[in-house]
Amino acid sequence: MQVFRYAVTTVQIMMVGAIIGLALAGVTKPAAGAEAKPAAAPPAAEIKVPGGTMDAVTAILTRRSIRNYTSRPVPEELVQLLVTAGMSAPSAFNERSTEFVVVNDPKVMAEISQTNPASMQLKRASVAIVVAGHQGKEKFPGKGYWQLDGAVAAENILVAAHAMGLGAVWTAIYPYPERIPAVQKILKLPEQVLPLCIIPLGYPAEQKVRENHFDPARLHTNTW
Ligand SMILES: Cc1cc2nc3c(=O)[nH]c(=O)nc-3n(C[C@H](O)[C@H](O)[C@H](O)COP(=O)(O)O)c2cc1C
């Protein structure tokens, strides 16, 4: 009997030890519906937003396409912040298929505007961000997700640029079949990386007023 009790206690201790071991190794599953603890966000102090930046809603409601820029150079840290804004956009299945090419070489800018009439604004800009989609990173190729990922990233850049007092415009590369390979060639992009748009940037040399695009006829509630 004494031997039996001793054996039970030993088995119990071993089981408790095994459960603790599995939990420490991360083998045990969280209860159904429970979310894994998210990784800690970087401290807000690491995000250096310049003083005077507009709030997000005002920036969205007042943004306009700006196609003329002064010769004042755009500081590198602002370009870096704009790329970070692009990379902060939502992404289908979190595939992060969008790639960003900063172009500040006047020769490359000139080459693009010669090849692509839609990017004529590059002639007046000192820097541009090319937003491209990496087809190799798509989780469901052919469904159109690189274009969607890229479009939301580009919009983040356009809004953030306006919020920081810069002018910017979407100049289309996709879906023009002749523009895509031309820009790929100039920028030496891999075959699977397709340029979606080019966003020239600069301090505005034109002032545009806000346009109110709210149209009640385009708003439907519950059903059409
Ligand atoms: C998908 C897309 C493609 C565009 N392509 C060009 C373009 O190639 N060149 C250009 O100057 N503007 C282009 N635009 C900017 C539009 O012309 C502009 O957003 C529109 O005229 C409304 O003006 P706003 O941006 O000032 O509100 C494009 C915008 C989008 C969303």
Q: pLDDT tens, 200-222?
A: 999 999 999 999 999 999 999 99
Residue 181 lies in a domain: yes
Cβ of residue 120 lying under 6 Å from some atom of ligand 1: no
Residue 25 lies in a domain: no
Bridge partner list, 204:
69
Q: In the 8-state DSSP scheme, what is residue 98?
A: E
Bridge partner list, 197:
131, 172
Entry pTM? 0.83
Residue 118 lies in a domain: yes
**Which atom of ligand 1 is closest in space to residue 64's alpha carbon?**
26
Best probe residue, ligand 1, of 116, 152, 170, 178 (max atoms within 8 Å of C-beta) = 170
Best probe residue, ligand 1, of 62, 64, 65 (max atoms within 8 Å of C-beta) = 65
Q: How many domains does the chain have?
A: 1
Residue 164 lies in a domain: yes
Residue 135's CATH number: 3.40.109.10
Residue 44 lies in a domain: no
Cβ of residue 169 lying under 6 Å from some atom of ligand 1: yes
Q: pLDDT tens, 88-131?
A: 999 999 999 999 999 999 999 999 998 888 888 888 899 999 99
Residue 114 lies in a domain: yes
> How close is the Cα of 118 to the center of ligand 1, in Å?
10
Report yes or no: 129 and 156 within 8 Å, Cβ to Cβ.
Answer: no
Residue 53's domain spans which residues?
49-202
